[in-house]
Amino acid sequence: MKIACISDKGGRSALSEDLWRKLRVLAEARGHALQRIELDRDEVSSCTGCFLCWKTASRECVSRDPIGNLTRAKLDADLAVWLAPVVFGTASSAVKNAMDRGDLLWLNPKRAAVVIGYSEDMDNEERSTFLDLIRLHRGAKDVVHPENKEDVSVFATRSARDNDFICRRLGDML
Amino acid sequence: MKVCFINGSLQGEKASSLFFLRALQSLLDRDPARPDIVTVGCRTRGRHSKEDIAAIRSADAVVIAFPLFVYSLPGALTRLLEDWQASFADAEQAKGAGSDPEGARVYAIVNCAFARPETNREAIRVLQNFCGRTGQRWRFAISIGCGAVVVMTSRIPVIRRALTSALSRIAADILGEAAGGRETISVRPIIPAFVGITIRRTLEWRAARRRKKAARPSEIPV
């Protein structure tokens, strides 16, 4: 299985690197190929809402930046893992820009997605907001679009112990 | 009373968010000071300009209007909030220079493409979290379903009344004339839900048909 891990370069922390290390060990142990795609907040532009990615056959983004290139390169992965620093209960701007524009990254029915939010000082309300953002609007439990058949799992981590738990759960999934 | 509007949409003059802010501005005309309008940037290297952050930091009331992107704030607006938060750390380092003693009152006008305004709930929670973290005073939000339809039908008296009434609550609260609650105000289009769903499905079907015919965006000359 090919796994693409999309993360925020500027949002690296001891927690995220610990998680990345554990994910890499897990993927190697299971014989999966793991690729890390790091986004720099200064290099990615925001979605302008032109809807060309929705209207056209290729579902590419017209912007010439790393995310646009990613959509043009056709992400060749069976599983997309989003490593998102959590700010105020949502993903950091770099990852959020990718989520906003990555129609291709999100909405490939053949590809599963895992979203992992991390922050050492995330409070309970921020954690709950982040989980609800994905749980209520994405995946099998979608309450807004019950017909939506996306396969999305979400986790939030505040410590190395949480990372161990997430990797165990991912190990069951892989 | 200094008011700052944040337009969280990148759609320029066409933005529904800007329409709502201008409608609010017309209700604030009794206030002699005109609000500053800060618009988020598509691609920002480094941080947002010092002028933008200063305009936000110096305001007594901040109204944030934005479209719902993937059920949350647009990435561009998230970035502005990150820069706003970072400016507090900078001010603390500069021994409190320019720090806000009390924090601004924060209001939100969220519009989504879905018929149900409840879809905006998590985005509003994100703004509440932001206020909690940075010491701003959260007031309340207007949650709008089918934002573009509400703008298009805003000349219909029923819609205009609902929208004006909601915006008037913000205006009155900013001017200190309100005694209303702080619950979210929902504004929805008057079209029945099944009509909205039919329109959406028709548009999706047309988009899917166009996808088969249309050129790849990478082939469109820049």
B216 to A45: CB separation less than 8 angstroms, yes or no: no
pLDDT at B193 over 80: no
Question: Cα-atom radius of gyration of chain B, to the nearest Å?
Answer: 19
What are the sequence ranges of the domains in chain A? 2-44+51-173
Query: Across all residues in chain B, what is the average pLDDT?
Result: 83
Compute the count of residue pairs across chains A and B with CB atoms less than 8 Å apart.
137
Give start and end residues of each alpha helix (H) in B94-192.
Answer: 121-134, 147-152, 157-174
pLDDT at A54: 73
- Separation in Å, CA of B131 to nearest CA in chain A: 9
CB proximity under 8 Å: A 19-78 to B: 41-42, 44-49, 52-62, 64-65, 72
- Taking the CB of residue B132, how many other CB atoms lie within 10 A of it? 15
pLDDT of residue A51: 80
Q: What is the pLDDT of residue B97?
A: 47
User: Residue B221: what pLDDT?
Assistant: 44
What the block records as the tokens of B128 is 């509440």
How far from the centroid of its chain's Cα atoms is residue A80's Cα?
6
Residues A66 and A94 sit within 8 Å (Cβ to Cβ): no
The whole-angstrom distance between B122's CA and the closest CA on chain A is: 6
Does the pLDDT of residue B98 top 70, yes or no? no
Predicted confidence at residue B114, as pLDDT, reads 83
| pLDDT confidence tier of residue A72, bands split at 50, 70 and 90 | confident
> Out of B43, B129, B212, whose CB is closest to A125?
B129
**B220–A62 C-beta distance less than 8 A:** yes
**Residue predicted with more confidence, B50 or A118:** A118
B49 CB contacts (<8 Å, ≥6 apart)? none
Model confidence at B128: pLDDT above 90 = yes
Q: In this model, does residue A116 exceed pLDDT 50?
A: yes
* Structural domain includes residue B221: no
Range of the domain at B82: 3-190
Highest mean predicted confidence (pLDDT) among A115-129, B7-21, B107-121, B167-181: A115-129
DSSP B155: T
- Residue-level pLDDT at B211: 62
- pLDDT band for B49, please (50, 70, 90 cuts): confident
**For position A62, what pLDDT does the model report?**
82
Q: If you average pLDDT over each of A21-30, A45-54, B48-57, B168-177, which comes out highest?
A: A21-30
CATH class of A2-44+51-173: alpha beta
Residue A106 has pLDDT above 70, yes or no: no
Round to whole Å and give the CA distance between B147 and B21. 13
Domain-embedded: residue B210: no
Domain tally for chain B?
Answer: 1
- Residue partners of B95: CB distance under 8 A and separation at least 6: none
Instruction: Give the pair of three-digit tokens for residue B29.
Output: 């005309």
Residue A103: predicted pLDDT:
60
* pLDDT, tens only, B3-20: 999 999 988 888 999 999
pLDDT at A156: 95
More confident residue, A71 or A95: A95
Q: What is the pLDDT of residue A76?
A: 75
pLDDT value at residue B115: 81
Average pLDDT over residues A9-16: 94
List CB contacts of A28: < 8 A, sequence separation 6 or more. Answer: A34
Cβ B222–A55 below 8 Å, yes or no? no
Average pLDDT, integer, range A116-121: 95
| Least confident segment among A144-148, B90-94, B177-181 | A144-148
CATH classification of the domain holding B98: 3.40.50.360
Q: Mean pLDDT, chain A, as a whole number?
A: 84
pLDDT band at B179 (very low <50, low <70, confident <90, very high): low
- A90 and B82 within 8 Å at the Cβ level: the answer is no
Give the length of chain A. 174
Give the model's pLDDT for residue A136.
76
Q: Is A67 helix (H, G, I), strand (E, B) or coil?
A: helix
Confidence of residue A141 (pLDDT cuts 50, 70, 90): very low
pLDDT above 90 (res B43):
no
Whole-model pTM?
A: 0.87
C-alpha–C-alpha distance, residues A46 and A132, integer Å: 23
Q: Is the pLDDT reported for residue B202 higher than 50?
A: yes
Q: State yes or no: pLDDT of B181 exceeds 80.
A: no
Amino acid identity of residue A8, one-letter, is: D
